[in-house]
Chains A and B, each alone.
Chain A
Amino acid sequence: SQQGEEDPQALSIQEGENATMNCSYKTSINNLQWYRQNSGRGLVHLILIRSNEREKHSGRLRVTLDTSKKSSSLLITASRAADTASYFCATDVSGTYKYIFGTGTRLKVLA
């Protein structure tokens, strides 16, 4: 089963614009991670945010976490065509060591 849901399911923007995608989850977590997946390839780790953190930055990425709402957002600023991919959130569920993935957001950045 998948605990997280990303929103929107698909997003199409122009190069240079910002892209925001959201992730909701159901249970208590230790941390939340975001991954990128290019078509037919493996997952690339982007960023991890711990449950006691509210915001984290890495390059053009900004992640927020609201544990009271059980939600997270990923912002990609100044998007590039190379950012075209599917983006997934994954939660490290408290009490277990497994990671549960959401359904993903398919981002398309038009040049």
Chain B
Amino acid sequence: DTGVSQDPRHKITKRGQNVTFRCDPISEHNRLYWYRQTLGQGPEFLTYFQNEAQLEKSRLLSDRFSAERPKGSFSTLEIQRTEQGDSAMYLCASSPGGRGTEAFFGQGTRLTVV
């Protein structure tokens, strides 16, 4: 098991462009989470999936953001019409589910909007 994998690790994009990030969770983990982290802050919850169902979305997830988890395996996070304020580290985590289980994080995708 190679852990949670995120791709790309770094992304630089021009304002107004669309970007898509991918997360591959630990196999057989049915919960998958997306977080955003800015410099000097703790990770902020964006959304999570139980298998392929998106069960909760933060108000931080504006209509420019969309996340999917087709077939309950990998997930994608798309940001449309990027803004400079979207610059952050986007973290993905997975857990096996059930109460009292650990969430394991990937290395993150660092987005810079210029």
Binding site for B on A (CB under 8 A): 1-2, 4, 30-31, 33, 35, 40-45, 48, 50, 88, 90, 92, 96-104
Contact = CB atoms under 8 A, between A and B. Distances in A.
B11 interface: no
A63 B101 CA distance: 16
B43 A43 contact: yes
Given A30-B100, A96-B56, A99-B33, A35 B48 contact: no
Contacts of B99: 30-31, 92
Contact of B105 (A35, A40, A102): A35
Contacts of A101: 35, 42-45
Interface in B52-73: 55-56
Interface residues of B, number: 27
B53 to A, nearest CB: 12
Nearest to B47: A98
Contacts of A42: 4, 91, 105-108
B108 A41 contact: yes
Describe B's contact surface by its main secondary structure: strand
A1 B45 CA distance: 8
Describe A's contact surface by its main secondary structure: strand
22 contacts: A1-B44, A2-B44, A30-B99, A30-B100, A31-B100, A33-B102, A33-B103, A41-B108, A42-B107, A43-B91, A45-B102, A48-B100, A48-B101, A48-B102, A88-B43, A96-B56, A97-B31, A99-B103, A101-B35, A101-B42, A101-B44, A104-B41
Contacts of B89: 40
B34 to A, nearest CB: 10
Contact of B48 (A2, A90, A97): A97
B105 A98 contact: no
A41 to B, nearest CB: 6
Contact of A103 (B41, B100, B106): B41
Given A35-B105, A41-B107, A48-B102, A97 B45 contact: no
B105 A45 contact: yes
